[in-house]
Amino acid sequence: MPDRPELLQQHCVRCGARWAGMDRAHCRTCCHTFDDTDLFDAHRRAGTCLAGSDLDLVQTKNGIWVRLLESA
């Protein structure tokens, strides 16, 4: 394991997606990557995949679905 595990590169053999970070969660069903397990769990309600946009998430340039930042 590297000295900085948050930089550990991971990938999906099914879709070829790549991401870094220990907190990320990739769905092997729809091949979307989420910023954390809470977002992953929210997208799998009732055993089916919901689109990140249906959960008011935004996708980064790296393809990771994240929460919108709230303005103060």
Please state, in angstroms and rounded to a whole number, the distance separating the CA atoms of residues 68 and 2. Answer: 30
pLDDT tens-place string over residues 17-66: 888 877 889 999 999 999 999 999 999 988 899 999 999 999 998 899 99
Tokens representing 31 are 């091949």
Please state, in angstroms and rounded to a whole number, the distance separating the CA atoms of residues 68 and 42. Answer: 15
pLDDT at 64: 92
* Residue type, position 59, single letter: Q
Residue 71 has pLDDT above 60, yes or no: no
pTM for the model stands at 0.79
C-beta separation of 2 from 9 below 8 A: no
Residue recorded with tokens 């729809």:
30
CA-based nearest residue to 17, from 27, 7, 4, 6: 27
